[in-house]
Amino acid sequence: MKKTSLLSSFAISAIALAALSGCAVTDFFQHEASADFESTKALDAGWDKSAPWVPADATDIRTRSSTTGDSAILRATTATALDPELCVEIERKSGPVYEQDWSGDAYVDNAWACDNWTVVATDDGWYGWTPNYPEEQEQSPAR
């Protein structure tokens, strides 16, 4: 009877685990999380990281970040330029820790240093990552 009970518990646990998406299981074990936000306001209210460079009118914001550290990537849709009080154009020296199918092309020559974020233009907005290279951070007007 105990073997049957143990087997049943194992089967139920396996079914429950299988019901979780593969991404959720991977995220749990890799200490990463993905999130989507409809607006900058929603991003500010619902994300545990900070990205002050994201324009106020940005939409369709996607993130991937560490749940145990500061590493993150973010892509936002907007036609608004980056704030020159926060960001300055630089020669890119860093690259993102994560890559997603929605990630922009990070490996371009020019980027913007926005404090501890490096940001590059995409066809429909901006793509950024943190942490960036210390020499990039030093050039940022947000420092």
Q: Is the same domain home to 62 and 124?
A: yes
Q: Is the same domain home to 23 and 72?
A: no
Question: What value does the mean pLDDT of the chain take?
Answer: 85
Mean pLDDT (whole number) for 5-25: 46
Q: Is the same domain home to 95 and 58?
A: yes
In this prediction the pTM is 0.79
Q: Is the same domain home to 56 and 104?
A: yes
Q: Which tokens hold the place of 30?
A: 């890799």
Q: Is the same domain home to 68 and 97?
A: yes
pLDDT at 13 over 60: no
- CA–CA distance from 92 to each of 45, 47, 74, 109 (Å)? 30, 26, 17, 6
Q: Is the same domain home to 24 and 37?
A: no
Domain range enclosing 3:
1-30
Q: Is the same domain home to 37 and 97?
A: yes
pLDDT at 17 over 70: no
Domain count, the chain: 2
The string of pLDDT tens digits covering residues 28-74 is 556 789 999 999 999 999 999 999 999 999 999 999 999 998 899 99
